[in-house]
Amino acid sequence: MPLLQAFWVSPPGLALCAFVAQRLAAGAVIYPEQPLRALELTPLAGVRVVIVGQDPYHGPDQAQGLAFSVQAGQRLPPSLRNIFSEIERDLPPARVTSVQALAPRGGELGSWARQGVLLLNTCLTVESGAPGSHAKQGWEALTDSIIKAVADSDSPTVFMLWGAHAQAKQALVSSGRHLVLTANHPSPLSARRPPRPFVGCGHFSAANAWLERHGRGAVLW
């Protein structure tokens, strides 16, 4: 991918590689094993929805390179439970696959990614037990460029921006071709709070209706 190739030889990319190598040499445990899995499962040309997260889960056997997703067999994190609950509330049963198909074996969201839902954290690695430990080390330059590349494309796309961190990326989405949906973060700390509670936001039905109107087809959530 040209975008990735350009990043790895850029000053932020070189600095990031040096930082990660130094942390590994110091014995740090870094998650996930596949930081770029979101791009592997969801090529930019096929993106229909972008969901922006912050950084990967920092516990063992959790993060797997997709925002909000955890490896199969893991307990659902509280934010993901709220996401699934909102999907059940928001959509008719025919459009809901996540809770029935995914929850029994954990919150692995690969089925979303394969349908064109880019599950993009803004920072793509983290150290065990240390949330935010790889923030501002270079990943943001790459993920901002990914968001902008999708926004600059001709394909109508839905951007779901939950919480202040994700909503800070709205400035990268300048085109009127796209639908931008904002709400509080689905964390239990904010999911029900004003001004835009996540619970009851209706983003999943709104996204599907908009995608269908623009000839891109609904997502099976």
Q: Which residues are known catalytic residues?
A: 55
- Cα 5 to Cα 13, 24, 101: the distances in Å are 10, 23, 36
54: left (phi over 0), alpha (psi -120 to 50) or beta: alpha
**Peptide linkage before 12 cis (omega within 30 of 0):** no
Q: Enter the DSSP assignment of 176.
A: T
Element (H, E) at 161: strand 158-162
Residue 142 contacts residue 40 (beta carbons within 8 Å): no
Q: Which residue has the tokens 């926004």?
A: 151
Joined tokens for residue 9:
């030889």
Q: Are 102 and 69 in contact (CB under 8 A)?
A: no
Contact 123, 141 (CB under 8 A): no
